[in-house]
Chains A and B, each alone.
Chain A
Amino acid sequence: MPPKSSTGKEKDLGGEEEVLQAVILADSFNKRFRPLTVSKPRCLLPVCNATLLEWTFESLALAGVQEIFVVCRSFPEQVKAAIQDSKWSKPASGIKIVPIITSKQTFTPGDAMRDIYTHSIITSDFVLVMGDLVSNVRIDEVVRIHKERRKTNKDAIMTMVVKESGVSHRTRSKGDSSVFVLDAHTSECLHYEPIIGVPPTKHIRIPREILAEHPEVQIRNDLIDCMIDVCSVEVPSLFQDNFDYGDIRRDFVSGVLSSDLLMKNIHCYVAQEGYAARVADTRSYDAVSKDILSRWTFPLVPDDNHPSGHLYEHLRGNKYIAKDNTVSLSRTCKINSNSLIGSHTSIAAGATITSSVIGQRCTIGADVVLHNAYIFDDTTIGAGSVIKQSIIASKVEVGEGSVIERGSLVGDKVVLGKNARLGPFERVSRRKEDVLKELGEDGEDLEEDEDSEDEWEEVEKPHDHGEHLDQENAPGILGEGSNGIVWPQGPPEDDEDADEVERFDNQRLMRLGDTASDLEQSDDEDDDSSAYSDSDTETDASSFRPFSHTSSRSSFSLHSSTFEAASSSLHGLSDAAAEQEFRNELKQSVKRAFEENHSLDNAAVELKTLRMASNGKLRTVREVVVEAVVEKMTIVEGDAQGQRKEIAEVVDRWGELIDRIGGVDHEETIEILQHHCAKSARLPLFGQILATLYQEDLVDEDDIRAWHTKPEAKGEGKHPKHGATLEGIKHCWSVGGKMIEQFNAQESSDEDSDEESEDE
């Protein structure tokens, strides 16, 4: 049917005009993979011998994406190089990949989205994914549905792809999951509730107004959110408009859904078929690797479509062995099911390998036992070692007879001596200097990065302090001649400051090999929370056991207590610093407002948002504003009339700002004015300013009286702050006193008020 096919072609051409774009946020914005990620970005960690980035590319290619932007923050050079080397950069691949390097100040996905907005690279609806995606979901189908929906509803700005599974799918993180409330018919997302594992979220709260518009809704706790979003062009601009959006789900989705102003809709696409999962933490690293080996991700499996282009032979029992005949397996070694062995790897006699992934060019010694282990490229495992449920990075040398227990992570190029004994959940990396030396240019970035600086400090601190411990214990753990240091276990010092999801206890739920059975995870509501006398308040005794670290070394707890005192004083210091910074920012903002002659509304909004952003005190804002307004008045020497006019002008223009910073406290205003005048050259103006404020109704008579009776106002009690002189304070107080006398006089002489006080 030739005529028909031609019309079909035309349609195809029409469709081709729009290139399907995708944005990969390659950075993880968290530290779950430390120390594997000290010298490498997370997106370059291998899963089944292909980097996460390659898996993500493969998943997107499957969906027909033609242009990919990779937003990378840490180790951008490595990412760039990896993109260059990947098969997708070859001219025939049909995909254009563009790396975008964002600054170190990009701390959240939201920041990255703002960066994308400023680059203005997005031209149409695009796919937003994280750089850790393994998926065979037909995203192109979702894009089609999304575009279809956009035709009728311009406000449908985003479609989230979620995978239907069950509550306890192994790639569904207990520590960071979510509940979606969807419209049963349109699958519009009506409410989003993030769920964390520890402390367990006990309730979800669904706004009642949802039911008014959507009489029947679905509440889904069985969806895996793998962060595949089909977004419209306005999504990055929404991030730009709302600078406090950090996380895409917890801030952006919740924000959009709960906002009455935006009037935007977000939809969900519930994928019934296919596989999609993120390698967001070490536990899901394990789960996804196993899923790939057991072929849930088909057609993305090691023996076909391997993202790195490796060739593997698929043997019975899901064993994969590199096809190029370079693997040397000894006659007596035993390879059990669900294992993958990379090329040029040799496995010596008597080794037993179960459910493990071994990279390329590895050497596995005799009688080694690998159980659920992940060994990256170029690693040597000494004879007789036992490794369970751990990740060993590349170029590691594990000495003979070592034992590495479940959950351990060993960073790149670490050398473990003979008979090293790593307890469960030990994390080992090289020392900072070694890592930096090698990284060269990228390392400088690392040094600039404040965050990782702190982290290293914490890692190396216990060892510096307890030198004897280091000498005695380290060889015991790491073996003779090791170049590694052991990272502390237990929650980091600033655990409380961290995001709820990133706190230590919750992170344990995402840790490889951690059953977390000692953590209180019951989401049961124990209290009856009702008025009945026989309420069922019993503690859930069976599931609660006191928290205990599974650490084999008790030394760390000793250290942590000694640092507590030091850290608290540090906190105090940093508080003061934060306050100072906040103050400076406020000053800048007010100055700008004065210079550029902003409207009061804009200036007030800016101050308010500043305060929200840095959680500052209202008083600080007031101080800054009052000071700025006072300083704005120029001193007119010898011309009382002119001076009065100047003050009136300034107060008329800017005075109202004092009351519009988010709270009204006139008494405080006077007090601040007093303290400021006392230390500034505008001391003589105090009376006039106060009078003008009074006229402009910025302070009332009662406020002046209340202030005047306070002991602080008289200069008693506290030391005057910031160089304000006692005399100044007293002077101001007496001026205030005169004013009150006037008020009294006015009251008695009844109503000829205003002129007199102006004369003052």
Chain B
Amino acid sequence: MDFDESGSRLLTQEFIAVILAGFGNELTPLTYNHGEEPCPKALLPIANKPMLHYPLSWLEASGIRDVLLICPTAQKAAVTHYIRSDASTTAFPSLRIDLQVYGDTQDIKGETCAVLRNFAHKIKQDFVVLPCDFVPSPTFPLTRVLDKFRTEAPYDGSIATTCFHEWQKPEKGTSIEEWNSVPIPMPIVWDEPSGTLLHIDTPDDIDRNDSSIELNMSLLSSYPKVRMSAGMLDTHVYVCRRSILDVLHEKSSFDSLREEFIPWLCKPQYSRSKRRKYGSSLSPSSNSPSQGLALQHATLHTRSMQPSLHISSTSSAGEPRTAPSSPIDSEDDIEDRASLRVGIVVHRTQDGYASRANTLYSYLELNRHFLAQTSWTLPSDAESRAMIDSKAQISTDSMVGHTTKVEERTSIKRSVVGKHCIIGKMVKIVGCVILDHCVISDGAKLDGCILGKNTKVGTKAELVRCVTQAGFEVDAGETFRNDKLEVADWTATQESSEDNEDSGESTDGE
């Protein structure tokens, strides 16, 4: 007997994770090229850790091993460097990361659907799509989403499970208007008891009817008690059946996973004609043994498959036992049993802060969130500590990376300072995110800024609520407010950054 072999067969991975890393158009100018070098969105640091660290460690904790990381060609070198670095191999020892690139050569410009179609051949089993920018709350394990899919997919015919998090309106007065408009969440409709996502109101729907939201009556007759909310944001985490990719190939007109495909995927759940047309390809009957039969006969198991039953069990007082069965209602249930459910896991804010770093605003907020969590994070090695002048005031809710030099009488409050920065004397930094290798000269004042890497700030310059492109230089004594500062007069960069812009038109904020 060869135990080893059978053992490895048993270990066939249940899921493969697909991480989509895009150009980060919403995060410009941070993601514009620095000279010839790209600044990949996936590697922008949040609390001094690359963004990609967060979804990867989420995956690590969930037990998924295979990761298909897809990023634009231009970013390949930088991302490879990160994956092979000590930091990531120690943090994610069990992940097998397969880095794939897309770009101009393959005629894909970054539409999420197209990317998935292109790499469908690499996906042999059920898969999890993740963005590179989702920062989950520590109390929210990926297994919660996976488990919902695991229970529903085999016996109930669920085809996908999505994950939404509660969204808070930014308070008024924060600097968002000047930077980027914060996308207002698309209203969604879902069924709470069974956790079923039923409708996403897409921008197309708004174009069709901007005064009211249209809902199909067939939705409401199969799910009579639903919730609708305009306060839920898509985390872009989708656990999907492999069969979805076949349908994705069929629907070649879809570009965006989030705005087009997933909303469409909700419809076969209740639309009879769509179910007839796509039901078999979405949910091919498998011969693999499942607990389906057992679960159906289980008396303790709540059958979320038939929502009406579910509800009636709570309000049986009014439910007639002797109701004549009407032939119209039950027809479809017999026709095909698979629910084609698109599950939804709702992550409420009270369970912890989670967000995608897909806008400048949320990027800054996430950084601030981590500052509030940790306290007094200074480099631990003596060498780096020695570079911080003892007369510098660094508040406990700040973070300073290693090998960063902070000179005397400089104060840093509520800010993240990256690695290898040089901060002069008498500098005031409040509520900022300063990326690596920045140089800030004496007497500069920074308030609520995000500085791209290698930004140089001259003496006594003042920046309030500004975002700078990597390598930007602020001259001595200059003052900027509420501005996006881009390297404009750097001819070499100009070209490549424009290329970047064009090529990343619809990355969908990956």
Contacts and interface: CB of A to CB of B under 8 A. Distances in A.
Contacts of B270: 524
Interface string A514-544: 0101000111111011101110111010010
A215 interface: yes
Contacts of A275: 317-318
Interface of B is mostly: mixed
A353 B461 CA distance: 97
Nearest to B198: A219
B217 interface: yes
B212 A205 contact: yes
Judged by DSSP, the binding face of A is: loop
B216 A536 contact: no
B227 A218 contact: yes
Contacts of A294: 320-322
Contact of A166 (B204, B253, B312): B312
Nearest to A220: B225
A206 B215 contact: yes
B211 A208 contact: yes
Interface in B221-252: 221-222, 224-231, 250-251
A217 B326 contact: no
Interface stretch (A196-204, A604-612, A748-756): A196-204
Given A184-B227, A203-B214, A222-B225, A291 B220 contact: no
A338 interface: yes
A521 B328 contact: yes
Contacts of B312: 165-166
A216 B317 contact: no
A211 B228 contact: yes
Interface in A49-93: none
Contacts of A200: 217
Q: Which of B204, B272, B308 has the most CB of A within 10 A?
A: B272
B144 interface: no
Contacts of A207: 211-213
Most chain A CB neighbours (cut-off 10 Å) among B214, B216, B217, B321: B217
A619 to B, nearest CB: 31
Query: Interface range on chain B: under 10, 10 to 19, 20 to 34, or 35 or more?
Result: 35 or more
Interface in B92-136: none
A167 interface: yes
Nearest to B308: A166
A211 B185 CA distance: 11
A296 B323 CA distance: 12
Given A222-B225, A290-B320, A208 B212 contact: yes
B321 to A, nearest CB: 7
Interface string A168-212: 111000000001010010000000000100001111111110011
A277 to B, nearest CB: 9
Contact of B229 (A163, A181, A215, A529): A215
B285 interface: no
B318 A203 contact: no
A262 B95 CA distance: 61
Given A170-B324, A205-B213, A540-B272, A219 B329 contact: no
B277 A538 contact: yes
Nearest to B315: A164
Contacts of A526: 273
Contacts of B314: 272
Contacts of A533: 253
B220 to A, nearest CB: 4
B311 interface: yes
Contacts of B391: none
Interface string B265-309: 000001111101100000000000000000000000000000010
A521 B326 CA distance: 13
Given A166-B311, A517-B327, A273 B320 contact: no
B6 interface: no
B46 to A, nearest CB: 27
Contacts, number: 164
A219 B215 contact: yes
B213 A164 contact: no
B319 interface: yes
Interface string A468-495: 0000000000000000000000000000
A274 interface: yes
Nearest to A318: B322
B62 interface: no
Contacts of B329: 168
A168 B308 CA distance: 9
Interface in B69-91: none
Contacts of B222: 167
B273 A166 contact: no
Interface residues of A, number: 61
Interface in A265-306: 272-275, 287, 290-291, 294, 296
Interface centre among A164, A219, A526 (most CB of B within 10 A): A219
A221 interface: yes
Contacts of A218: 225-228
Given A166-B312, A273-B317, A517-B327, A219 B227 contact: yes
Nearest to B210: A208
A390 to B, nearest CB: 16
A220 B224 contact: yes
Given A272-B315, A532-B251, A216 B228 contact: yes
Contacts of A219: 189, 215, 220, 225-228
Contacts of A167: 220-222, 224, 308
B380 interface: no
A296 B227 contact: no
Interface in A215-263: 215-222, 224
A167 B326 CA distance: 12
Given A294-B322, A540-B273, A206 B216 contact: no
Q: Which of A181, A203, A521 has the most CB of B within 10 A?
A: A203
B218 interface: yes
Given A195-B217, A524-B216, A536-B274, A221 B225 contact: yes
A529 B253 CA distance: 15
B195 interface: no
Question: Residue among A215, A273, A526 with the most chain B CB within 10 A?
Answer: A215
B318 A205 contact: no
B209 interface: yes
A643 to B, nearest CB: 54
B187 interface: yes
A217 B308 contact: no
A195 to B, nearest CB: 7
Given A204-B217, A534-B251, A290 B225 contact: no
Contacts of A532: 251, 253
Given A219-B226, A521-B328, A165 B217 contact: no
B273 A163 contact: no
Nearest to B226: A219
Contacts of A205: 209, 212-215
A528 B230 CA distance: 24
B221 A523 contact: yes
Nearest to B215: A204
Interface of A: 163-170, 179, 181, 184, 195, 200-208, 211-212, 215-222, 224, 272-275, 287, 290-291, 294, 296, 338, 515, 517, 521-526, 528-530, 532-534, 536-538, 540, 543
Interface of B: 187, 189, 204, 208-218, 220-222, 224-231, 250-251, 253, 270-274, 276-277, 308, 311-312, 314-315, 317-324, 326-329, 331
27 contacts: A164-B318, A165-B315, A166-B312, A167-B222, A167-B308, A168-B329, A170-B323, A195-B217, A205-B213, A206-B228, A207-B212, A208-B212, A211-B228, A212-B230, A216-B227, A218-B227, A275-B317, A287-B320, A294-B320, A523-B218, A524-B216, A525-B271, A526-B273, A528-B274, A534-B251, A540-B273, A543-B331
Nearest 5 A-B pairs (CB), nearest first?
Answer: A222-B224, A523-B217, A221-B220, A221-B224, A215-B231
Given A205-B212, A274-B318, A536-B273, 7 more contacts: A168-B308, A201-B217, A202-B217, A205-B213, A218-B226, A219-B227, A524-B218
